């Protein structure tokens, strides 16, 4: 039905959003995701939709707030430093139960860092980088096709739970060019009677995240907590490869997962029984599947492009007697399959 | 409001606008917000846009404004109301979003948002309440606090060497191309309140006619944090704020001037 | 408060429980028709009220309602039938 085309990851995000019926996009230039802003500046007006290049990432996330509150599917994309600037806005979106999609094409950091791909925003993205009791759904693509598909999925989950949802690729994936199959555009968007659309023939709608009296605020937050429980139960996604006979399991996502795949194949050729467990939802983190796995397998190797963030969640999920090693690069330096293979050999030989 | 029957024909001159809820205001006695909000509600009734009006509230004493209005409203993070309103207007051009902001919200943390909403010529309206103080948080210095003026964070009076100079927002924003109507008004006397209402109405009509950004700065009393009782607060405003913040229209593009003329003939 | 049926002139109604006693209406009434009440309301404010001796002088100009920060004033102007 839809032909395959070659596309960069960043463009796949933009086209995924358009296919998902994203009506409003607000962006600010920051490498390595400028192509999304540029592509949307051309395509959104073509589709008769809203595009604004904003004065800051802060303005962009607050424009997402306005668009989402008025019932439109809305997205903003950025990279690590910009993602930090958006945290207050994301907390407001969560506090006001607003659906929105935020894409963070991660780069080396902290501070100004550099424009190389990295995974150093794991904590910020998955633990809720803003203030207050909330979490956000976090999807981690590892291919250009997934950049498109997970952006579309993000809109669906955001609307389903009325919660901000993050797509978390890194700079390498943003720039990578791979074949992609376009998806059928979403035509049926969910009804949003709660939205700010003008009080015509109904009582007024108010969207806020405030109650002067704490005792009135708690019920609001309790609803958010219950929603997160449902998300934890129903939305966990992960991928298992060669786990049946695995003696060592690599845990990795995004670009690190791609290097791990090659390393696993090389290790298998050397007769080493290696498997991979790939979290796709970084929140809700696949705790149970990992802890089940640890009954059978005792040795784990976390491969990530940060100085050790994913590894904390992996350790939390595994039993006390599981042995967890780390192989990593960070600061924008890519991780090669050879480094992972070396780590595998050191553990298994 | 008690309902009274009377045999003579009776016209009610002033009463609660339909665009306001019954909900009493939480503001302090003599607070300018209570007047400004009522003016906005009266105008929304007069222009018959209650079903299109969207209150984009900010953070400060103004935060509860959407509770008092009888139409859709939402809260925006401190300083970000112009961005929120931008998105609402662009997504739903038929709606009439207006931001209702204080001086801390607009002229301190939200400076970039208001400047760029003006620069982009967003077709929204901003009601900017300048009471030269942070009210909600208990009376700290605001960007519009006058030189020498006491506040809880300028205990010896605002010193330029330490805390710089108050910002004249209308003058600053009127240099931006995208602005269609910018006016500064005040609430210190009946005549001033009437002029304030005319300016706010023209601002909304500017948006209705799709002419670009409209902003009305309203010099407003804050008796509690000025530590002055309400009637004296209005006198203090006239004596101290008017000289530094001259009233008047700082930007009126031709199309808005034409709207004004229509008024006199209508 | 006298009921309306005895009224033959313009009159003002002040919601004494909504009023916060800022007294702006008293200060700005051109005819001095309004005065501070002799009691406090539920919130502890001294509301404004109509001075019954002066009520005839009310011209229905509406300045009290214009200046009221709490929408506590309703102004009635009478037209002969």
What span, in angstroms and rounded, lies between the C-alpha atoms of C61 and A45?
53
* d(CA C49, nearest CA chain B) in Å: 14
Q: What is the mean pLDDT of residues B120-147?
A: 98
- A62, containing H or E segment: helix A57-69
| B57 Cα to chain C: minimum distance (Å) | 19
Q: Which of B2, B3, B5, B6 would best serve as a mutation to test chain C binding (most C beta carbons within 10 A)?
A: B6
Structure tokens at A124: 């910020």
State the pairing for strand pair A274-279/A238-241.
antiparallel
Is the Cβ pair B9, C62 closer than 8 Å? no
Domains A4-234 and A238-348 share a fold: yes
What confidence tier does C62 reach under pLDDT thresholds 50, 70, 90?
very high
Binary contact (B11, C22; C-beta < 8 A): no
Asked if the Cβ–Cβ distance from B74 to A196 is below 8 Å, we say yes
* pLDDT value, residue A349: 83
* Euclidean distance between CA atoms A341 and A337, whole angstroms: 6
**Would you call B77 and A205 a contact, using CB atoms and an 8 Å cutoff?**
no
Please confirm whether the linkage preceding A110 is cis (ω < 30° from 0): yes
Does C77 sit within 8 Å of B11, measured CB to CB? yes
What pLDDT sits at residue B129?
98
Q: Quote the CA–CA distance of A56 and C3 in Å, as a whole number.
A: 60
Q: Does B80 touch chain A (CB under 8 A)?
A: yes
Torsion angle in degrees (nearest 10) through CA of B192, B195, B201, B203 = -90
A172 closest CA partner among A96, A91, A109, A254: A254
Distance between B190 CA and the closest CA of chain C, angstroms: 6
Each residue's pLDDT tens digit, B140-176: 999 999 999 999 999 999 999 999 999 999 999 999 9
- DSSP notation for B90-104: HH-TTSEEEEEEEHI
**CB pairs B-C closer than 8 Å:** 104
Closest approach of B246 to chain A, Cα-based (Å): 30
Run means of pLDDT, 10 residues per run, chain A, 349 residues: 90 98 98 98 98 98 98 98 98 98 98 97 96 97 98 98 98 98 96 97 96 91 97 98 97 98 98 98 98 95 98 93 95 97 95
What does pTM read for this prediction?
0.95
B88 in reach of chain A (CB within 8 A) = yes
* E strand intervals along B58-140: 73-75, 96-102, 125-130
Q: What is the pLDDT of residue C81?
A: 59
Q: Which two tokens stand for residue B56?
A: 């984009």
Please answer yes or no on whether C28 and B189 come within 8 Å at the CB atom. yes
Domain locations in chain A as residue ranges: 4-234, 238-348
Q: Is B37 helix (H, G, I), strand (E, B) or coil?
A: helix
CATH topology of domain A4-234: Rossmann fold (3.40.50)
Cα distance from A1 to chain B (closest Cα, Å)?
A: 32
Beta strands C11-14 and B248-252, pairing class: unpaired
* pLDDT on residue B2: 37
Contact of B77 with chain A, judged by CB distance below 8 Å, is answered with: yes
Relative orientation angle of helices A9-19 and A34-46, to the nearest 10 degrees: 30
Residue A132 CA to its chain's centroid (Å): 20
Contact between C79 and B35 using a beta-carbon 8 Å cutoff: no
Q: Which helix (H) or strand (E) holds B54?
A: strand B53-57
DSSP state of B64: G
Integer Cα distance of B66 and B58 in angstroms = 10
Token look-up 């991660």 returns: A106
Closest-CA distance of chain B to residue A149, Å: 25
Give C58's contacts in chain B (Cβ within 8 Å). Answer: none
Decide: A42 and A134 in contact? Cβ < 8 Å.
Answer: no
Q: What is the mean pLDDT of residues B189-201?
A: 98
For A347, the enclosing helix (H) or strand (E) is helix A337-348
For residue A69, the distance in angstroms to the closest alpha carbon of chain B comes to 8
Residues A257-308 have pLDDT tens digits of: 999 999 999 999 999 999 999 999 999 999 999 999 999 999 999 999 999 9
Interface test mutation site (partner A, options B48, B64, B84, B111, max chain A beta carbons within 10 A): B84
Q: In what order do the strands lie in the sheet with A24-27?
A: A50-53, A24-27, A74-78, A100-104, A164-167, A137-139, A281-283
- Whether residues B13 and C21 touch (CB distance < 8 A) is answered with no
Nearest CA of chain B to the CA of A206: how many Å?
A: 5
Would you give the distance in Å from CA B71 to the centre of its chain? 18
Q: Does B229 contact chain A (CB < 8 Å)?
A: no
Which residues of A have a CB under 8 Å from any CB of B? Answer: 23-24, 26, 50, 52, 54-56, 58-60, 62-67, 69-70, 72, 74, 88-89, 92, 96, 196-200, 204-210
A50–B95: do the CB atoms touch at under 8 Å?
no
DSSP H stretches of helix in chain B: 32-46, 65-68, 81-91, 103, 111-119, 160-163, 169-173, 190-208, 223-226, 230-236, 242-244, 254-265
Size of interface A-B (CB pairs under 8 A): 123
ipTM of the complex: 0.95
Q: What is the CATH number of domain B26-265?
A: 3.40.50.970
The pLDDT, as a whole number, for residue C3 is: 44
Is C8 at the interface with chain B, CB within 8 A? yes
Q: What is the mean pLDDT of residues B84-112?
A: 98
- Chain B nearest-CA residue for A75: B87
Among B90, B97, B113, the residue with its CB nearest the CB of A52 is B90
Cβ–Cβ of C70/B25 closer than 8 Å? Answer: yes
Cβ neighbours of C73 in B, within 8 Å: 14
HSE-CB at A198 with a 13 A cutoff on CA atoms is 17
Q: How confident is the model at residue B71 (pLDDT cuts 50, 70, 90)?
A: very high
Q: Which of C24, C45, C74 sits opposite B14 (nearest CB)?
A: C74
Q: Is A223 exposed, middle or buried (0-12, 13-18, 19+ CB in 10 A)?
A: exposed
Contact A302, A252 (CB under 8 A): yes
Strand partners, A340: none
pLDDT at A1: 66
pLDDT band at residue C1 using 50, 70 and 90 as cut-offs = very low
**Closest chain B C-alpha to C56 CA, distance in angstroms:** 16
Residues B187, B192, B195: CA angle, nearest 5 degrees: 115
CB contact under 8 A, C8 and B29: no
Query: Are C74 and B190 an interchain contact pair (Cβ–Cβ within 8 Å)?
Result: no
Gap between the Cα atoms of A317 and A311, Å rounded: 10
Residue B148, min C-alpha distance to chain C (Å): 26
Res A252: pLDDT: 98
Interface test with B, best of C35, C71, C78 (most B CBs within 10 A): C71
Q: Does B238 touch chain A (CB under 8 A)?
A: no
Q: Which residues of B touch C77 (CB under 8 A)?
A: 10-11, 13
Q: State yes or no: pLDDT of B194 exceeds 80.
A: yes
What are the strands, taking DSSP E only, across chain C?
11-14, 34-36, 48-50, 73-79
Question: Under CATH, which architecture does the A238-348 domain have?
Answer: 3-Layer(aba) Sandwich (3.40)
Phi, psi dihedrals of residue A305, rounded to the nearest 5°: -100, 55
The domains located in chain C, with CATH, are: 9-76 (3.30.70.20)
Answer whether A touches C (≥3 Cβ pairs < 8 Å): no
The helix/strand/coil state of B138 is coil
Which of C5, C61, C69, C3 has the alpha carbon at shortest distance from C33?
Answer: C61
A37, containing H or E segment: helix A34-46
C13 forms beta bridges with: C74
Region of residue A38 (left: phi > 0; alpha: psi -120 to 50; beta: else): alpha
pLDDT bucket at B133, cuts 50 / 70 / 90: very high
> Tell me, what's the pLDDT at B172?
98
Determine the 3-state secondary structure of A104 from DSSP. strand
Q: B75–A96: do the CB atoms touch at under 8 Å?
A: yes
Is-contact B179 B173, C-beta < 8 A? Answer: yes
Dist. CA A181–CA A146, nearest whole Å: 10
The pLDDT, as a whole number, for residue B15 is 81
Cα–Cα dist A69/A62, whole Å = 10
| Sequence spans of domains, chain B | 26-265
CA angle B129, B132, B135 (to 5 degrees): 75
């Amino acid at each position: 039905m839809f032909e395959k085309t070659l596309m960069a990851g960043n463009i796949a995000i933009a086209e995924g959003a358009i296919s998902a019926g994203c009506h409003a996009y607000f962006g600010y230039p920051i490498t390595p995701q400028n192509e999304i802003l540029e592509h949307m500046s051309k395509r959104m007006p073509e589709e008769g939709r809203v595009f604004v290049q904003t004065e800051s990432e802060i303005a962009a996330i607050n424009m997402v707030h306005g668009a989402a509150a008025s019932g439109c599917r809305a997205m903003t994309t950025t990279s690590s430093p910009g993602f930090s600037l958006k945290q207050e806005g994301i907390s407001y979106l969560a506090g006001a139960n607003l659906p929105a999609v935020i894409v963070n094409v991660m780069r080396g950091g902290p501070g100004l860092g550099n424009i190389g791909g990295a995974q150093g925003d794991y904590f910020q993205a998955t633990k809720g980088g803003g203030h207050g009791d909330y979490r956000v759904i976090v999807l981690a693509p590892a291919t250009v096709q997934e950049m498109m598909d997970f952006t579309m999925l993000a809109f669906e989950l955001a609307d389903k739970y009325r919660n901000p949802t993050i797509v978390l690729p890194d700079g390498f994936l943003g720039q990578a060019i791979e074949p992609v199959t376009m998806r059928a555009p979403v035509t049926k968007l969910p009804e949003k009677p709660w939205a700010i659309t003008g009080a015509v023939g109904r009582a007024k709608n108010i969207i806020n995240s405030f109650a002067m009296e704490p005792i009135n605020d708690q019920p609001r937050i309790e609803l958010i907590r219950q929603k997160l429980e449902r998300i934890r139960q129903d939305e966990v996604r992960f991928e298992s490869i060669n786990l049946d006979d695995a003696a060592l399991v690599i845990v990795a996502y995004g670009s690190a997962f791609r290097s791990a795949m090659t390393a696993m194949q090389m290790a298998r050729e050397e007769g080493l029984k290696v498997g991979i467990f790939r979290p796709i939802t970084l929140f809700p983190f696949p705790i149970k599947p990992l802890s089940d796995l640890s009954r059978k397998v005792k040795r784990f190797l976390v491969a990530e492009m940060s100085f050790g963030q994913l590894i904390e969640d992996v350790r939390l999920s595994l039993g006390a007697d599981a042995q967890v090693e780390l192989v990593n690069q960070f600061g924008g330096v890519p991780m090669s399959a050879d480094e992972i293979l070396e780590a595998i050999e050191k553990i298994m030989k | 409001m008690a309902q009274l029957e009377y045999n003579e024909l009776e016209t009610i001159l002033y009463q609660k606008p339909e665009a306001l809820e019954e909900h009493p205001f939480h503001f302090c006695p003599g607070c300018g917000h209570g007047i400004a909000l009522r003016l906005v509600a009266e105008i929304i009734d007069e222009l018959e846009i209650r079903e299109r009006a969207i209150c984009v509230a900010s953070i400060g004493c103004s935060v509860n404004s959407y509770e008092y209005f009888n139409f859709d409203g939402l809260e925006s993070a401190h300083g970000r109301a112009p961005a929120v309103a931008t998105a609402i207007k662009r997504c739903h051009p038929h709606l009439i979003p207006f931001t209702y902001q204080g001086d801390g919200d607009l002229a301190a943390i939200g400076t970039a948002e208001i400047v760029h909403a003006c620069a982009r010529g967003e077709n929204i309206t901003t009601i900017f309440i300048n009471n030269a103080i942070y009210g909600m948080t208990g009376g700290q210095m605001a960007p519009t606090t006058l030189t020498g003026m006491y506040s809880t964070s300028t205990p010896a009076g605002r010193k330029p060497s330490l805390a710089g100079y108050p910002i004249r927002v209308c003058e600053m924003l009127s240099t931006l191309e995208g602005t269609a109507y910018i006016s500064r008004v005040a609430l210190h006397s009946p005549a001033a309140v009437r002029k304030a209402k005319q300016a706010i109405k023209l601002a909304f009509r500017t948006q209705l006619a799709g002419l670009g950004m409209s902003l009305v700065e309203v010099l407003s009393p804050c008796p509690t944090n000025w530590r002055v009782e309400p009637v004296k607060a209005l006198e203090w405003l006239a004596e101290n704020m008017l000289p530094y913040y001259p009233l008047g229209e700082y930007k009126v593009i031709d199309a808005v001037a034409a709207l004004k003329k229509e008024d006199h003939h209508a | 408060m006298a009921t309306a049926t005895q009224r033959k002139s313009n009159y003002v109604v002040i919601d004494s429980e909504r009023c916060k006693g800022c007294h702006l209406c008293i200060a700005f009434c051109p005819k001095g028709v309004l005065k501070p009440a002799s009691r406090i309301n539920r919130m502890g404010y001294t509301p404004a009220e109509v001075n019954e001796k002066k009520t005839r002088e009310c011209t229905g100009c509406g300045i009290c309602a214009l200046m009221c920060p709490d929408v506590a004033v309703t102004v009635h102007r009478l037209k002969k039938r």
